Each structure stands twice: as C-alpha cells, then as structure tokens.
Structure 1
Amino acid sequence: MNKITGYAAFLAGFFILLGGIHPSSAAAAGNYTAKVQANSLNVRSEPAAGSSVKGSLRNGVLVTVTDEDHGWLKVQAGNTSGWVAGYYLKKINGSGQASGSSGSVATNVKTSTSGGSSTKATVIANSLRIRGGPGTHYKVLGSLQSHDSVTIIQRQNGWIQIRTVNGETGWVAEQYIRSGSSKSSTVRSSGGGLSGKLIVIDPGHGGSDPGMLGTTYNTMEKDLNLQTAIYVRDDLKSRGARVEMTRTRNNQKPSLGQRVQFSDALGADAFVSIHYNSSPKKVSGTLTFFYSEADDLLLARAIENRLGQGIGLKSNGLSFGDYRVLRGNPLPAALIELGFLTNPADEAIVRKASYQKKAAKAIADGLADYFRR
C-alpha cells in the first residue's frame, strides 16, 4: 500500500469536489462582534461598492457580524443593518476566539490511551503539523514528513498525542497517521529558508465568480489571479519549496471555507491569497492584508516590503483585513491585492505578463525573507 495514499486521496477528493461546487458566498461560522475602524463607514444595501447607502457608522461603534461575501460583511448595529467593507472592521473578543489563540475549554471529551505497550505509527501525509493541543487553534510546534515514525500516547476526539524519536511530544490529526513503523522522524522547525516548506497559493475567485471586471479593458480578475499564482508557484518551486494551489483551472470555484480547510489539512507552512483590487475612488497600487497580528503580520510585512521595492506599481502598505481565508486560517496567511482594475493605468500594467512575473518574484522573495527570519 502506498504510504501517501491518504494525502493523495485527500487531494483527489478536494479537486473532484471543485468541479461540482455550486456558486454561493461562504458565511462566517457563527456571529461575532467587531469594532468600526473608520471615521465614517457606509452601510450599503448589497455587498457591492455601487449599491445604495442605507446609513453610516461612527468610529468605535460595535456591530454584530452575521454574514460575509467576498470581503463584505453584513452587520447589525441597533436599527441599522446592511453590508460594509470588511477591512474597516476589527474583530474583538466575543463569541469566537481570534486565530492563534492558545486557550480552549473541552467538554464531553472522550480520551483513550494506548495501554501498557507503546503503539508505533507512520505519517501518511506529505507534511503534518504538530500542535500544542488537540485542535487547530493550538500553537504549531513543528511538523513531520511522510513516512516519519512516531509513538502514540493517547487519542482524543480525532487527534492523537504523539512522541517523536527525538522525545518531543505534541498533537496531530488522527486521519494522517497509520499504525505501523517506518523511518525515524525529525521535527522540522518553522524557521529556515524556502527549501522543503509547503506553501498554499490561493488564486482568488474562479468558476462562475469572475471577481472584478476591469473598467477599461474588461480584464477578468479570476484570470489574472490564476496566472499570477502560477508564476508564484513556479518561482517558489525553483527555490525548493513545495507548493499546492487551491485551484488550477478557471472553471474551479472552491468556497472560502474549502480554501482554508485545504491549507490546514495539508499542514502547510504559509498561505497566500492572490487578488486584484477595485475602488470607486481613483486609487492605484498594491495593498497587503493580514488578520492576526500574532500569526499573519510578519508574513504580510515581509511580502509587502518586497512589493514596495518596485514592481511597476506603488505599494500602499499593510492593512487589517477581516477576510474568511485569513480569519479562519490557523496558519500564517496574507491576502495581496496587486493593482486596481478600476484604474485605467493600473489595468493596463497588470495585464502584462512582465508585471505579473515581477509581482510573483516579489511575493516569493517575501516568503523567503519570512522563513529566514
């Protein structure tokens, strides 16, 4: 039996699923509270910049977020209800913990131990994250590679506490472990260069969702996202990184939740989502988003620093972004907007392969800087 069958089956199932996905926006898992981070934030009737304004919210106002649609959040504040741009809100402590939080209270936990004799097991995923506890919200301690051998200590609700041959302990997802020994394991730390790192590149939109349409040349954002993502993938692979993409064809449209699940299940080291921007105002340049200051900011800053060194468009710096692919992602993640398709000059530039390749190199350079820190 092939030892990476589980990993291959996961990938096959994921991409088969993409072909049958029905167009739908992915809502956040449960309501939560957020604070307005703008002097005056327009509340609109639909999740689109051109929709009618129903009212406005002042800086510091607390709102309840009930839904999400590609960066727009549906909110309720008193008698005011409607859609707002997500990057003007910041989640606060409430019904859910922010990504990267270290605490969790377990209830009705079923635990079993391996008894008197130790049970050996083998990793069947290409890369498997070791966490500090039985859940994706716990801190990542390191990772294991395919065929690595571990000792099972106990099982708990789909997670296994393991011990490596180095004597280090932690928790891994049960479905990526199979009973039986293989070669000795060595935990890879999260530092170092690109070589051996597993990076998920997410070309935004796809399928029936074209994203933004350029206002001058009718450039379709989903096409630019995919082509740029392919350039990023090729650059990273040439430096020794392992790369997976959430979609590889323009007729695929994974949901936001599936994109997050894909990266987490693979035990990736980083996640980068590629997009092109739009605005009713005459603005130009790139913008790099992060969600968690603890997990995402360093990655976003490393990439933005490289984009700011010159790729043909100016960098507008870093911004908090309350996007599902960032908020729901347990690994370091960044979302990059590589130019405004509503700006004629930007659109003319970003359509060129030469610009996309420069942007891809800057992103790869930023990832290399991040892993060398």
Structure 2
Amino acid sequence: MNSIKRSVSVRRDIQAKARKVGEPIPAFRHKGLASLTLAAGIGAAVLAVAPGEAHADNTYTAKVYTDSLNVRSTAGPDTPVVGSLRSGDVVTVTDENLGWLKVENASTSGWVAGYYLKRENGSSASATVNTASTASRSAVTGSIAASSSVSTGAKALVTANSVIIRSGPGKSHDLLGSANRNDAVTVLDQQSGWSRIQTSYGAYGWISTKYLQGGGSATVKAAVQTQKAVNVSTAAAQSPKASTSDIQSGSLQGKLIVLDPGHGGNDPGTIGTTYGLVEQELNLQTAMYVRDYLVSRGARVEMTRTESGQRPSLASRAQLAPSLGADAFVSIHYNSALSASSNGTLVCFYSESKDLGLARAMEAPLKGGTGIRSNGLAFGNFKVIRENSVPAVLLEMGFLSNASDEATISSSDYQKNAAKAIADGLQLYFSN
C-alpha cells in the first residue's frame, strides 16, 4: 500500500511538471497497455508509424486519456493549435500520419498526438509521435521501393529509418518497439505480408515485410553485426569484475560527465503496467539525483535534457559528450518486457575497447545497491552509445512491466539509491 501511495505522489509530481511546459500532460496508463520497449533495451529507439501503417481506410472512435490535449491544424508538434480536448472526450479518428491522429467531434477537428488516445476497447490508438523531418519521411517512403523479397530462415536488412515492431502479424497488434535502417535481422516466420524477426541484440517481434530487404548484402551485414555482438559479449564474460572496495580510491574531481535522461517531450518511453509510471519522467528524475551526487563529489555535469518537454535527437545526444571533451557518458532508462516476470537492472555497452571498463565499473555498485537484482552486462546496439567517441553506457534501471520492480521504482528512496550507485560506479571507473 505504501508503494501505491508513493506512486500516486510521483504521478502528481510528474503531472505538475508537465503542466509547466504547455504541452499535453503525460497520461498515466493502467494495467493492460502495451509496453513500448523490449527486454533488450529498445527503449532507446524512437518509435514511428511508417507510411502504410496509417488507418485512413478504417475510422474508429477513441477516448482522450490526458487532462488537456492540443488539437493542431496539421500533424506535427510545432503546428498551430486550433482547439483542445479534455480527459474523457470521445472522438472519431479518421487518419494517421507518423503517430499523429486526425480526429473530430462536435466541438473541434484537427490533429492530435495519438499516444494520448485509447480505442474504446482499451487498446492503444497509435504509436508514439515521431517528429522526424520531411526529408526523413521521404527517405522512409523511398526505402519501400528498394525492398526485395525475403524468405523464412534468411537474413534481411531493415530499409526504413524507423519501423514498428509489433506483437503479432498486423496493425491491430500491440507496439513493442522499433527497428532502424540497416539493422540486420533473422526472419523466423511470415504471414500475410508480415515477418516475425529476431534482431542482432536478441529482440523478437513482427514487422511489415515491405520494410525488409534480403539478398547477399543482408547476409554479410547480419554476419558482421552478429559477430560484433558475440565478440563484445565474450569480452564482457571474460573481463574481471570490478570491486566496490575500490570506489573510495577513485576521484570525480574535475571530471566532466554527460548524463542523458532517455526519451522526453512527446516520446514518453515505456509505461508501467501496474502503476502507470512514465519512463521519460523517471529517467529525468533519476538523472537529477545523479547530477547532485556527482557535483557534490567535485564532478562537472552536463545533461542532454533538463525538462520533461525537451526531446533532443539521438544524434545530438551522442554528439554532446565528444563535443565537450567529456570523460564519460551515461544514458539512463527504465526497461520493459513482454513477460511480466522479467526484472532487474542491466548495463548496456557497445565497444569492448571503449566502453567495457566503464560498464564493469557501473555494474558493481548496482549489484545489491538498489534493492533490485542485477542482470549484469549486455551488448547494446544503441545510437547514443554506438556513435559516441567517449566511454559510454546505457543503463536500464528496472522493469516497469514487472509489478514488484515498478512498486520499488516508484519510491524516491529507490531513485536516490540508484543515483548513488551510478555515481559510485563512475567514481570506481576513475580509480583505475
């Protein structure tokens, strides 16, 4: 019961912050909403509805699940506001464009962020909004023509900038995450224009086959990506574990650390399935606690975002640390999985030579220091660490799809303990 009370308190704090930015207040979804990330940590990827996933041929009714929702003249976050909707309002959805829904009722009509609507049967109405540029959208459209046939058991490359991964073969199935251009996948099954795939980092799901390209280049690319994951995972298994007894011998004095609270703005990340906690807000709150601990120990800290309304691009997040000459980069996330039993923290890294030392140092204090079990290290093919030239890790600080984890996470005590463990990990890293 205390966990539920703490969760309600967190919700109120998040809602109060959201009101300040003048955009829709994050909707706190209840049990049954599909998680938007996979156990492999896909929370770092941006979700988008690609052309061809729209529901233009299929109108339906949906209900608003946020206190105040802007209605805009056209699809996009920076277009003129022509009206507003309130929680409980019922609208007719007539079209969809990259996560924005065209809606109408007796009082207004226009485009809204689809994430804040649910169909009358309780399922989500849309994917998370992606604010990709027109050029990016054209690239996605152009990629369709380049696609070629794929076969079950073969390798394939994703040809679009961002393609939805779903729980089943069709648009009616829940959203699980996304795959990005040039990701190599293994095709496990095919049904009615959909392919069940496994990514190089171990995630499973269904995507539209028209966004896959087979052939020799796909086989080569898949082999390279798979070998990369195997090499890094093997290196991690063979590397010596760090000892928390060495934390005090390290010093953060003068070190420049870049903290990246994942998601933000109209990208909420995953949503807790028991208490409805919103990942992007937890990421920010935890990062703020980490910043305080680091500054108190003499470190200098830069953050990729400091407000819930901000949503920097993945590229800008990856580029910030090297542009500042930072000593380390830490991206903070909370996880989700199809299985409600999945739980624990996870430290993801990409490069054996650049990131493994930092990952090992981060893992040690997280194990036993948060009240949630540690899942150790994992290879993470994420843009914010893959394209980062400084030592970088992506942390998954617990599963919002697990009732026990989410109840623990909802406590500010957990977030402070987690933040201290992250700061300890950084100090341990600089003890070498």
What is the identity, as a one-letter code, of the residue corresponding to 1:356? Q
CA shift for structure 1 position 263: 1.4
Partner of 1:372: 431
What is the identity, as a one-letter code, of the residue corresponding to 2:308? N
Partner of 1:245: 303
Calculate percent identity across the aligned residue pairs.
50
Provide the alpha-carbon RMSD of the alignment.
4.0
What is the identity, as a one-letter code, of the residue corresponding to 1:24? A
What is the identity, as a one-letter code, of the residue corresponding to 1:52? P
More strand by share: 1
1:52 to 166, 169, 172: 169
Partner of 1:87: 201
Rounded to whole Å, the distance in 2 between the matches of 1:345 and 1:296 is 30
CA shift for structure 1 position 311: 0.9
Rounded to whole Å, the distance in 2 between the matches of 1:338 and 1:46 is 25
CA shift for structure 1 position 309: 2.8
TM-score scaled by length of structure 2? 0.49
Which ranges in structure 2 are unaligned for 5 or more consecutive residues? 1-76, 79-128, 138-142, 144-152, 171-175, 189-194, 204-220, 230-248
Partner of 2:324: 266
Rounded to whole Å, the distance in 2 between the matches of 1:307 and 1:362 is 5
Equivalent runs, 1:96-175 vs 2, <5 Å? none
CA shift for structure 1 position 262: 1.3
TM-score scaled by length of structure 1? 0.56
After superposition, give the CA deviation of every residue in 1:36-78 in whole Å (9 maximum; x if it has no partner).
xxx999999953453539xxxxxxxxxxxxxxx9774454569
1:340 aligns with 2:399: yes
Rounded to whole Å, the distance in 2 between the matches of 1:272 and 1:311 is 17
Partner of 1:254: 312
- Preserved CA contact (<8 Å) 1:73 1:84: no
- Preserved CA contact (<8 Å) 2:253 2:297: yes
After superposition, give the CA deviation of every residue in 1:62-110 in whole Å (9 maximum; x if it has no partner).
xxxxxxx97744545698877654523998769xx99xxxxxxxxxxxx
CA shift for structure 1 position 292: 0.2
Equivalent runs, 1:172-183 vs 2, <5 Å? none
Rounded to whole Å, the distance in 1 between the matches of 2:359 and 2:198 is 23
CA shift for structure 1 position 260: 1.0
CA shift for structure 1 position 290: 0.4
2:131 to 23, 35, 44: 23
- Preserved CA contact (<8 Å) 2:163 2:180: no
Equivalent runs, 1:211-360 vs 2, <5 Å? 211-281=269-339, 282-360=341-419
Which ranges in structure 1 are unaligned for 5 or more consecutive residues? 1-18, 32-38, 54-68, 99-190
Rounded to whole Å, the distance in 2 between the matches of 1:278 and 1:41 is 26
- 326-335 or 74-83, larger mean C-alpha shift: 74-83
Partner of 1:141: none
Rounded to whole Å, the distance in 1 between the matches of 2:270 and 2:331 is 15
Rounded to whole Å, the distance in 1 between the matches of 2:187 and 2:368 is 46
Rounded to whole Å, the distance in 1 between the matches of 2:411 and 2:178 is 26
After superposition, give the CA deviation of every residue in 1:106-129 in whole Å (9 maximum; x if it has no partner).
xxxxxxxxxxxxxxxxxxxxxxxx
Partner of 1:203: 261
What is the identity, as a one-letter code, of the residue corresponding to 1:291? Y
Call closer, same or farther: CA 1:296–1:77 in 2, change over 3 Å: closer
What SS does the corresponding residue of 1:47 show, helix, strand or coil? strand
Count of paired positions: 238
Call closer, same or farther: CA 1:365–1:92 in 2, change over 3 Å: farther
